[in-house]
Structure 1
Amino acid sequence: MEFSYNDNDNLPIIKFESMLKTNHVLFFDSEEFENIIHHYLNEGKINIAKKAIKFGLDQHPTSINLRLFKVEIFVFEDKLDDADTLLHELYNLDPFNEEIYIQKANILSKRNDHLKAIEVLKKAVELTNDVVDLYALIGMEYLFLDQFENAKTYFIKCLEHDINDYSALYNVIYCFEYLNDNEAAITFLNTFLDKNPYCEVAWHQLGKQYFVLKEYNKALSAYDFAIISDDTFVGAYLERGKVLEKLKRYNDAIENYKITLNLEDPTSFALLRIGKCYEKLKNEDLAVQYYYKTVHEDPMLDKGWIAITKFFNKKQNYQKALYYINKAINLDTENVIYWKLYSQINQRLGLFEEAERGYKKTLELGNYELNTWLSRGDLLIKLGEPQAAIYNFEQAAEFYPENAELEYRLAGLYFSINENDKGTFYLKNGLKHNREYNFIIEELFPIISKRILVKNLLKTNP
């Protein structure tokens, strides 16, 4: 039972809290206790709700609804066996109470027995005329099982009973998207809009489906109708801006993003997109101004720091690019993209030790792209650290076996430390897997490439 917040309904709360402070036990009828408990559960004040349940059951020990609240607390605290025992007692007292079935299904769901939970919920449907919440619960259980077709069926049932159930609408579209069935989603939404033509959420979702299919003009029309239905719908303006960017209508996109800044507090997403649009329009002053605003609004948004770093990188202002990527790293030392940019910029500045450190950090964070291994290893060669370079490339070879680019590098390194057998082994492997990469020897190891042994191996036919 929902708690009402008018003055009369607040009286039991005030009275109950007064009782807690004074330790004078006051009487409440069972319905008042239900409202009090419901209030504290909604507030997330579980301990006070538990006290209310105890006082309620002391005064009304036979109340099934109050005992069901106790079950709910047991489930919340993962005391599932206690909840099950109490539910069994309540079932014997009132076998036609749908709330008992709902709580039973909740327990089964927490035990990952979703099929059994669905079976129990379907029994509850037979006991009540208020089926919408039950359909939603069944739909969620099917989602847990990744049975998206079945889930979709039950969320659609929710909409058939309440056309304004936007939660169900979002879930229906989620199922269509997971099934990669955008065409069917469009058909469903158009049918839905025939019945509810001013539903801004449906128009918004329709626009997103057209966007995925790259039908940008249709997406634009859908967002237009979403805005006609609700001219304060921020999400529609943002999505409309994205479509206008795809259509290269950057000034129109900026206008849409700026509308959102006036409708609510500025979002880093809108500020970033405005900056991107200005950059496309070659208005660099305004572009960088909005990138500054983006990182000021949300310092943890990596896309903002990446945008401003790449902006100065493109302008070959590497010192400024390095300044901003260092600021980004200070905020988030675990961001792989930051470290890769850090390495690339330092490399362009000729700061090879710093660049190598960045690539090493990138690998430590789990970015095992071949190019990262190659870039780090080549820097180690340049820094005169052949053993470290060998170790780097041998690690890389575990992820990329029989890779010619790695094998030529290992060949050159082993020849450089006069381990000719290993050098020969890797050079033969490199030639076997891809002769076209043999220029690596001459490029990275020009002195080694002039050795007679190496020249002869390079001339050998596969």
Structure 2
Amino acid sequence: MEFGLPDDNNNISLKKFESMLKTNNVLFFDSNEFENIIHHYLEIGKIVLAKKAIKLGLDQHPSSTNLKLFQTEIFVLENRFDEANKILETIHSLEPDNEEIYIQKANVLSKQDQHEKAVHTLLIALDLSSNDDGIGDLYALIGMEYLFLDQFENAKTYFKKCLDIDIEDYSALYNIVYCYDFLGENEEAITFLNKYLDKNPYCEVAWHQLGRQYVTVNEQDKALAAFEFAIISDDSFVGAYLEKGKVLEKKKLYHEAIENYKITLALEEPTSFALLRIGHCYDKLEKYDLAVQYYYKTVHEDPLLDKGWIAITKFYNRQKNYQKALNYINKAINIDSENVVYWKLYAQINLRLNFLEEAERGFKKTLDLGNYELQTWLSRADVLITLGEYEASILNLIQASEFYPDTAEIEFRLAGLNFTLHEHNKGHYHLKNGMLLNQEFNYIIEELFPNVMQKPSVKQIFLGAKK
């Protein structure tokens, strides 16, 4: 079904239709008018109005194939696949060579995850099609079905056919590059894009994609050149400026990177990404007042962007302004209390401030949220030891040992804790384990449990290990 942009006649039809809906009068529209009205509502996502138009259309033109096809489209959107198939079978018996029937059948199959059958059905539609534009659309649909099947070589083949029909089909171009990326064929992608640019040398999209491929293979200078050509092709292409800025950052050309990021702020609404990158660049240049200014702008622009809160917290952390760092990480946690990085920073900052109960809470929350790094377990254990919560520390370390069995750092801590609680047999057991695993960590006993070091049996084990 082909539809153009709404012209004056279509606008008149729409106004007439919407006016009719406000009254009890039923006006007559020819089937083409209904098709354009329905298409318009589907395009802008007004499904309820599209359904009303389909119902009225079929009341006035019950034999219209195109209106019935619209009806199947609605049924597919509502996952009413059996009803869609019934209509399609009815139309097929009357018009067996109508390619649109096969396209809708394929749509039904695709929605039911029957992608192999969808491809087969679309290939039948392709055999029936005689319209170049329609063939291009079919190639794109087949390509998408192959993507669903993870058959990237086949998908590439059909998206390339789209470009053969329309060299400026950028959706197909993006999908081809996506296939190369997924297959890890970056060099092949570079070759393809260079050949494409020989035919379409002022395509900013292709230059941009080529630059990204060069970044992947660590050809930074070639990437820069590609992004510059993208900008020459379209000097308002924000994506090219952003990518160019990222490469300049990698090359430690921070002033030039800032310049490119700032261009994006002038071209469109400020993005939190650009603001954050500018902040990082100023940070690297040790222009701390400007850095923190842009970090502030980042969290103001997008309070949900965790990288912004993390950047501003780490900034104050590095400045040893722990109170301000704590203030900002608390604000971040108030916005998203399930972010594990926030809690990890919260714990570390509270530890530096010697707020031990809060630090322990932070490490526990970090673990509860699934961050099972060894250092997190150990840090929590050490805080609990300092707080005198020895049994809680043992329980924490036993849980840690499930993830990190035969770990000397855990064994020495368990040894010290058990000796402290006068569980001497357990203490000896864990101490010997620790010595067998890695004697270099025996300083843990001396640092965390100085009283344990005075025990003759412990000294004897240490002396025995030195012989």
- TM-score with structure 1 setting the length: 0.97
Shift of 1:3: 5.2
1:73-88 correspondence runs (5 A): 73-88=74-89
- Judge conservation of contact 1:12–1:32 (CA < 8 Å) in 2: yes
SS in 2 for 1:4: coil
Supply the distance in 2 between the matched residues of 1:95 and 1:435 (Cα, whole angstroms).
81
- Judge conservation of contact 1:3–1:38 (CA < 8 Å) in 2: no
Look up the match of 1:340.
344
Shift of 1:335: 1.1
Supply the distance in 2 between the matched residues of 1:314 and 1:258 (Cα, whole angstroms).
26
Look up the match of 2:46.
45
Structure 1 stretch 253-262 or stretch 448-457: which is displaced more?
Answer: 448-457
Supply the distance in 1 between the matched residues of 2:459 and 2:148 (Cα, whole angstroms).
63
SS in 2 for 1:22: coil
Supply the distance in 1 between the matched residues of 2:136 and 2:333 (Cα, whole angstroms).
49
Q: Does 1:377 align with 2:381?
A: yes
- Judge conservation of contact 1:3–1:39 (CA < 8 Å) in 2: no
Identity of aligned pairs, percent?
67
Look up the match of 2:409.
405
Q: Does 1:163 align with 2:164?
A: no
Supply the distance in 2 between the matched residues of 1:43 and 1:17 (Cα, whole angstroms).
15
How big is each residue's C-alpha offset from its partner over 1:170-225, in whole Å with a ceiling of 9 and x where there is no partner? 11111111111111110000000000000000000111111111111101110110
Look up the match of 1:217.
221
How big is each residue's C-alpha offset from its partner over 1:380-406, in whole Å with a ceiling of 9 and x where there is no partner? 011100111111111111111222211
Q: Structure 2 residue aligned with 1:139, among 139, 143, 150?
A: 143
- Judge conservation of contact 2:10–2:37 (CA < 8 Å) in 1: no
Q: Does 1:256 align with 2:260?
A: yes
SS in 1 for 2:338: coil
Supply the distance in 1 between the matched residues of 2:431 and 2:42 (Cα, whole angstroms).
70
Supply the distance in 2 between the matched residues of 1:122 and 1:200 (Cα, whole angstroms).
33
Q: Does 1:208 align with 2:236?
A: no
- Judge conservation of contact 1:148–1:179 (CA < 8 Å) in 2: yes
Q: Which residue identity does 2:350 align to in structure 1?
A: N
RMSD: 1.4
Structure 1 stretch 426-435 or stretch 81-90: which is displaced more?
Answer: 426-435
- Judge conservation of contact 2:408–2:441 (CA < 8 Å) in 1: yes
Supply the distance in 2 between the matched residues of 1:375 and 1:232 (Cα, whole angstroms).
50
Shift of 1:439: 2.0
Aligned residues: 462
Look up the match of 1:457.
461
Look up the match of 1:435.
439
- Judge conservation of contact 1:393–1:406 (CA < 8 Å) in 2: yes
Shift of 1:328: 1.4
Shift of 1:143: 1.0
Shift of 1:152: 1.2
Shift of 1:263: 0.8
SS in 2 for 1:197: coil
SS in 2 for 1:227: helix
Shift of 1:461: 5.2
Supply the distance in 2 between the matched residues of 1:91 and 1:409 (Cα, whole angstroms).
76
Supply the distance in 2 between the matched residues of 1:309 and 1:202 (Cα, whole angstroms).
38
Q: Structure 2 residue aligned with 1:313, among 298, 314, 317?
A: 317
Shift of 1:311: 1.1
- TM-score with structure 2 setting the length: 0.96
Q: Which residue identity does 1:98 align to in structure 2?
A: E
Shift of 1:427: 2.2
Supply the distance in 1 between the matched residues of 2:457 and 2:88 (Cα, whole angstroms).
83
**Gaps in structure 2 of 5+ consecutive residues:** none
Supply the distance in 1 between the matched residues of 2:94 and 2:465 (Cα, whole angstroms).
89
Q: Which residue identity does 2:315 align to in structure 1?
A: F
SS in 1 for 2:128: coil
How big is each residue's C-alpha offset from its partner over 1:55-112, in whole Å with a ceiling of 9 and x where there is no partner? 1111111111111111111111111111112211111111111111111111111221
Q: Which residue identity does 2:55 align to in structure 1?
A: K
Structure 1 stretch 5-14 or stretch 92-101: which is displaced more?
Answer: 5-14
Look up the match of 1:178.
182
Shift of 1:341: 1.0
Supply the distance in 1 between the matched residues of 2:192 and 2:422 (Cα, whole angstroms).
71
Shift of 1:423: 2.0
Look up the match of 2:34.
33
Q: Structure 1 residue aligned with 2:397, among 378, 393, 400?
A: 393
Supply the distance in 2 between the matched residues of 1:27 and 1:296 (Cα, whole angstroms).
54
Q: Which residue identity does 1:137 align to in structure 2?
A: L
Q: Which residue identity does 2:150 align to in structure 1?
A: D
Supply the distance in 2 between the matched residues of 1:336 and 1:371 (Cα, whole angstroms).
14
Supply the distance in 2 between the matched residues of 1:154 and 1:460 (Cα, whole angstroms).
73
Shift of 1:459: 4.1
- Judge conservation of contact 2:99–2:128 (CA < 8 Å) in 1: yes
SS in 2 for 1:299: coil
